[in-house]
Amino acid sequence: MPLDSALPSFVPAGAPADLTVALVSYRSLSFLPRCFETLRVASAGLRVRVVVVDNASGDGGLEWLATHAPDAVVIANADNVGFGRANNQVLPLLGEEPLLLLNTDAFVAPDSLHAALAALAADPALGLLGVRLVDENGLPAPAARHFPGLVSGFAQKVGLKRGDPHADELVADPATTPGAPALRPCDWVVGCFYLVRGAVLRQVGLFDPRYFLYFEEVDHCLRTRQAGWQIACLATTTVVHVGGGSAAQMPGFAAGARQVSVLQVESALLYWRKHGGLLGLMTALGLGLLADAVLALKAWAKARLGRGAAGDAAVHARNARQWWTLARATGFGTRPTR
């Protein structure tokens, strides 16, 4: 189906814009129609430029864009360069306007762009903004995050810290929750809807290219906070985020719920070495190994008692070996492997 003339068109490269939206696509053809339809509806009354960076998907997405979104700027990579590097490719196309990083499996509400830009304009100290997220069933998803902690993360992983680890990271809707703030300050926001002020990009830049996937938003938000900017999550508009659609198809992504992704472990090692030095890296490595050793022992004991699967202990043992293997492969957190 050709471009729907009843919906707003996007502005071309080089033209003045109120907002540039970056979409990184990796085998996400199934999400593109809904993503573009909701994005066009939300763009009414705004000059929006959309830049799609395709990470060598090979799934027909480029052909779909040529037919259904010819007004989008398309960058076609010959290889999958990862999430952070792909978003960085959009920077040369920017003017002074803010940049919205939007996942292809994130579907904006009709008011999302207007509400987010208004919140950014209302507070000159606000450098970076996320929004309330829900899943396909309308259930709240974590959006306003805390910076990771090594000890708290270990305690949560091995079961010493009870309860939902994301319970205090959910953003309540003020329309249904009396007293819920419209704007919630936080440490970092999830990258599926990630609005960055242009001045922040000029001062701080965007993502550290060493992160292939995971931790790039955490690192960028930390640097943004260190530069004196505030970060918050807006609760008055809601974005539906499916989650994991593209990442699950990447090499190094673990399919099992108990198996830790190679991509996550590598990025964690790079992050803790960068922001904690050698001591931070060795602490992260030690706690990661210890956590999997504890979990492997617990799984083995449960299996012996007939309360767990016999293979669970082996999964945690593989995770522990993965921590050590990747620590060596990254030069103990000093370089990426991809």
Sorted by where each begins, the domain ranges of the chain are: 19-249, 262-329
Residue 108, pLDDT above cutoff 60? yes
Residue 45: CB atoms within 10 Å:
10
Query: Which residue has better confidence, 160 or 204?
Result: 204
For the chain, give the mean pLDDT. Answer: 92
pLDDT number for residue 304? 80
- What average pLDDT does this structure show over 306-318? 80
Residue 222, pLDDT above cutoff 60? yes
Of the ranges 250-254, 277-281, 307-311, the best mean pLDDT one: 277-281
pLDDT number for residue 3? 53
The full DSSP string for 133-195 is: EE-TTS-EE--EEPPP-HHHHHHHHHTSS-S-TTGGG----TTTSTT--SEEE-SEE-TTEEE
Which spans in the chain are helix H?
A: 32-42, 61-68, 83-88, 112-122, 150-158, 198-204, 216-226, 262-304, 312-329
- In the DSSP assignment, the letter for residue 10 is P
Residue 302, pLDDT above cutoff 90? no
- In the DSSP assignment, the letter for residue 91 is G
Strand partners, 33: none
- Quote the tokens at residue 89: 């490719």
**Residue located via tokens 């001045």:** 199
Pick the CATH number of 19-249 from 3.40.120.10, 3.40.50.10470, 3.90.550.10, 2.160.10.10: 3.90.550.10
- What average pLDDT does this structure show over 131-143? 95
Query: Which residue from 101, 115, 119, 114 is spatially nearest to 51, judged by alpha carbons?
Result: 101
pLDDT in tens, 109-130: 999 999 999 999 999 999 999 9
pLDDT number for residue 249? 52
pLDDT range class, residue 1, cuts 50, 70, 90:
very low
Q: Are 238 and 133 in contact (CB under 8 A)?
A: yes
pLDDT in tens, 9-55: 999 999 999 999 999 999 999 999 999 999 999 999 999 999 999 99
- What average pLDDT does this structure show over 183-210? 97
Cα–Cα distance for residue pair 192/187, rounded to 1 Å: 16
- What average pLDDT does this structure show over 136-150? 95
Residue 75, pLDDT above cutoff 90? yes
pLDDT range class, residue 246, cuts 50, 70, 90:
low
Q: What is the pTM of this model?
A: 0.92
Q: At 197, which helix (H) or strand (E)?
A: none
pLDDT number for residue 87? 98
In a 13 Å sphere around the CA of 305, the CA atoms on its Cβ side amount to 8
Percent of the chain at pLDDT above 70?
93
